Chain A
């Protein structure tokens, strides 16, 4: 099946290779994978963003796909309470082995949170953003949330503050949000139709009452859109998250996209439903499936237009720490943080970050140079490639050690990040796991090539057999530059008749075990 869908029209997803794993195959739980973001224009970062927005987002891993290769973020779990119930959510407060938004290892007080922020800021100087995202709703815990922001703003003034909310209480707190120097807000809006909402939200708690059914969702929708308008009026950058739930809100999300765009949202993040039965959510227990990678991409492509689509979201935990795609939260438990000698060194952080910026500039320049050499190539061929990376925009991960693959769409206009696929690590203690290899290949089945820093002989030949070309000649080079160079040589081979270009079929979104938040 064609893995590349024409933009601007929502194509009914055909049945493809992406089948949900059965519960028996699960060995625990981990967030489903695959999202991404249209990088601005091509891959070069700012692209067509207004300069004032780019200035705000350029070092924010959740708001800029390009930044997410280089900069880290952290969430502090100071907001355990929630004011609504979603059928895809089951909050857990002492869970180390699941990676999804409602889960944390431990709840923190604002004082513990600020200490943790300082410890992480010292250990991970590229951590530029602090988010409060739960595990409940930050605005259902306003005292703890705003106290944390206040303390962090005082102790670490260079760290950007953001919060992620369901929007129900947003209009009530809008002025406090503005005063708190919060300049990034995410609202999760899954529908603007109360009838659809009733299938997603069993109840809300509003104005001292519990509401159910259509009454609940009408209030929630009104408040979400009102909150979004209020943020826009105040110049606070707003991203909208939506969970794609097949046969409930999937086609309707195109309408949601238009509604949030017209109200001033600047980025729309459509994420796949995570619904493994062991998470204990209503959807998980009812067998509601999540979308396949192809369905998700088709919807994201259909929504892509004036509003940028985010495709690099890892649906991380409410206590995630580190680069997107890695999780270092285990290094920063309250016990460990209390033992650390925390010296907030702003100069050290600035110096480190300017080094990162130089790296980024070099990466972008290399990609553009390669693209310039590609100019004049005319071809209608577009294809996907998978990349094993540890960050910094480099092909710097061994095939066997990759916890995820980033997916780029290549065409003569460049390399565009379109998502990622989470996989189980192939190499365990030096030996490859054969059944894992077939699962990995299922996860990147729609890719023509996989770029790695290194790969063993056995997986190499298996990949070739499956029609996925393993590419290790660009080890430790920049992703975009290498992908464009490889694509050029691919087109040459097609032109010379050495190979015939074929479209590749769809891939599965992985819901698995083990933590790999971010």
Chain B
């Protein structure tokens, strides 16, 4: 399951965008969005998802439960 950004809570501060190791984050219509296909949940990159760690608003970068968890390539 990749992460997603709760648009209604996103302040569009841009903290997450440059930190994403996969360049999955971009600005759209006043808030930032995560491209699900690119999100690796930071597995293999960092100990914790960078968007979650840097976001100033709690519970704004959250797991997208509608999609399967990210699987690291074998």
Contacts and interface: CB of A to CB of B under 8 A. Distances in A.
Interface of A: 80-83, 85, 91-93, 107, 136, 140-141, 143, 205, 208-210
Interface of B: 11-15, 17-19, 46-48, 50, 52-54, 56
B53 A80 contact: no
Contacts of A143: 18
Contact of A209 (B14, B47, B56): B47
A466 B35 CA distance: 65
Contacts of B50: 208
B15 A93 contact: no
Contacts of A210: 48, 52-54
Contacts of B53: 205, 208-210
Contacts of B11: 91-93
A141 B48 contact: no
A85 B54 CA distance: 10
Contacts of A208: 19, 46-48, 50, 53
A107 B27 CA distance: 13
B66 to A, nearest CB: 26
Nearest to A208: B46
A205 B54 contact: yes
Say whether chain A's binding surface is mostly helix, strand, loop, or mixed.
Answer: loop
B15 A140 contact: yes
Contacts of A209: 46-48, 53
Contact of B56 (A91, A107, A141): A91
B43 to A, nearest CB: 14
A83 B15 contact: yes
A80 B13 contact: yes
Which residue, A83, A92, A107, A208, has most C-beta atoms of chain B within 10 A? A208
A81 B48 contact: no
Given A143-B18, A205-B53, A210-B53, 10 more contacts: A81-B18, A91-B56, A107-B14, A136-B13, A205-B54, A208-B19, A208-B48, A208-B50, A208-B53, A209-B46
A7 to B, nearest CB: 40
A208 B15 CA distance: 12
Nearest to A141: B14
B14 to A, nearest CB: 5
Nearest to A81: B15
Nearest to A142: B18
